Amino acid sequence: MADATRFYIGGEWVAPSTSVTTDIVNPANRSVVGQVALGGPADAEAAIAAARAAFPAWSATTREHRLAVLERINAALIARADEIGDAIMAEMGAPLGLARGAQAGSGPQHFEETIRVLKDYAFETPLGTTLLQREAIGVCVLITPWNWPMNQIATKVAPALAAGCTMILKPSEVAPLDAAILAEIIDEAGLPDGVFNLVHGTGPGIGDALTGHPDVDMVSFTGSTRAGIAIAANAAPTIKRVALELGGKSANILLPDADLAKAVPASVRGCMLNTGQSCNAPTRLLVPRTTLSRVEHLAREAAEAIVVGMPTDNPHMGPVANEAQYRRVIALIEQACHEGTQLLCGGVEPPKSLEHGLFVAPTIFTDVAPDATIAREEVFGPVLAIIPYETVDEAIEIANDSPYGLSGYVWGDPDAARNVARRMRTGMVHVNGASLDSAAPFGGYRMSGNGREWGVWGLEEFLEVKSIYGGA
């Protein structure tokens, strides 16, 4: 098992400045699988100083040099994929197939896309007699969550390296093991000392010192909207760039001509993927009221077909990732029931024989009012709200009536679905079950954040633009 009790600063594995640690808990059985050190301001200072010292030389390296480094890291991520997957399975409860597949596989996915972009990216372009130069923004703090840990690390680390930035990665203290493996890989990849630094800790303990530091040029954060607001406020006095990928309550509109036999089961599975712990999960299912009974039947069948179990048994769905999140999910289910929202299936009782872990059954509420708590709050668990509508215009209005705007989904005639997608106020829309595209921008509107990750947009988040008049 990877060691999260040490930090990687200035090209060396070092002891934290504090002796404080906390348990890394496997949510499937509440067993302790390791310890993570909780660093403090002194560790933040050391990591930032190392990154600042390394920036001039690293930002001046050639495209070819950075490509070679990225390719070495990517090759090692592929070689250690099962180990990374097993770490993710242990630290946040992802089922074996998901942990070794999409979770661990997202690292190479984003490194390979960054490599593709970097090979042909124009860092200098003429604009008449002016030369536009794109250059590394500087020292970056990268803060990542526990739900898709390697995915979010890769979408930040890969483009930051490609841009010529230096960085301090602070992964979630709940799921730090895969980040420790990446640090081992980077140590062996031959980066100059200080280009990549890894520290662990909580937001108040070390995060505030990182995000507010005047020698940090950019903060890239993925996580809750609440934490994103706090980070933006902490960074504001030094006017640093802040890129935020935050929460969501994505609407999934089934048009009147949608193939319900296909769309409903796919929508339920999509909501429950990763135990519902995805910021872009389709958690609001909007259906024509005339089809509500049919949708309920299909949704219940789909939910009951989802196998919930121990991650090592490779079920469809594992536990909620940690105690705090489990309590939030249960509390929101209880609140919905208290408000009189109709429970179709699931609820607060854990699946049989899984009472010792943080398991929640696939839960569906139906005939949900658009203003109900369960239709407004991001649950971040395996909970779906079915909301009936009368007209397509009303469905779009309901979909857009949210403080969030990360993703959306539409099922039906392709042309009609695309027209609806154009009217949805979200950063992304999936038409008829289309998958994510790692070359396309990932990000949202309003309280779902700002900035974009993935592909060329992910690279440009880490670049400044300079106008050199008379330079072309």
Instruction: Name the residue ranges covered by the structural domains of the chain.
Output: 7-246+448-469, 251-437
Number of neighbours of residue 182 by Cβ within 10 angstroms: 26
Taking Cα atoms as reference points, which of 192, 193, 175 lies closest to residue 92?
Answer: 175
pLDDT tens digits for 335-385? Answer: 999 999 999 999 999 998 999 999 999 999 999 999 999 999 999 999 999
**What distances in angstroms separate CA 170 from CA 82, 207, 441, one per listed residue?**
23, 8, 23
Residue with tokens 């690293």: 58
- Residues 6 or more apart whose CB falls under 8 angstroms from that of 41 comprise 206, 209
Cα distances (angstroms) measured from residue 112 to each of 68, 119, 180, 428: 12, 11, 21, 22
Q: Residue 14 has what pLDDT?
A: 98
Q: What is the pLDDT of residue 1?
A: 77
CATH class of 251-437: alpha beta
Q: Please tell me the predicted confidence (pLDDT) of residue 387.
A: 98
Q: Catalogue the E-assigned strands of 226-382.
A: 241-245, 251-254, 284-288, 342-345, 363-366
With 0.95 as the threshold, say if the pTM is over it.
yes
For the residues 75-84, what does the mean pLDDT come to?
98
DSSP state of 317: B
Which of these, 1, 25, 29, lies nearest to 309 by C-alpha position? 29
Residue 170 near residue 38, CB atoms below 8 Å: no
Strand ranges across the sheet with 241-245: 12-14, 7-9, 196-198, 166-170, 139-143, 218-222, 241-245, 449-450
d(CA 315, CA 311): 6
Residue 272 has pLDDT above 90, yes or no: yes
Check residue 93 and give its pLDDT.
Answer: 98
- Residue 234, pLDDT > 80, answer yes
**Where in the sequence numbering do the catalytic residues fall?**
245
Kindly state which CATH superfamily the domain 7-246+448-469 is placed in: Aldehyde Dehydrogenase; Chain A, domain 1 (3.40.605.10)
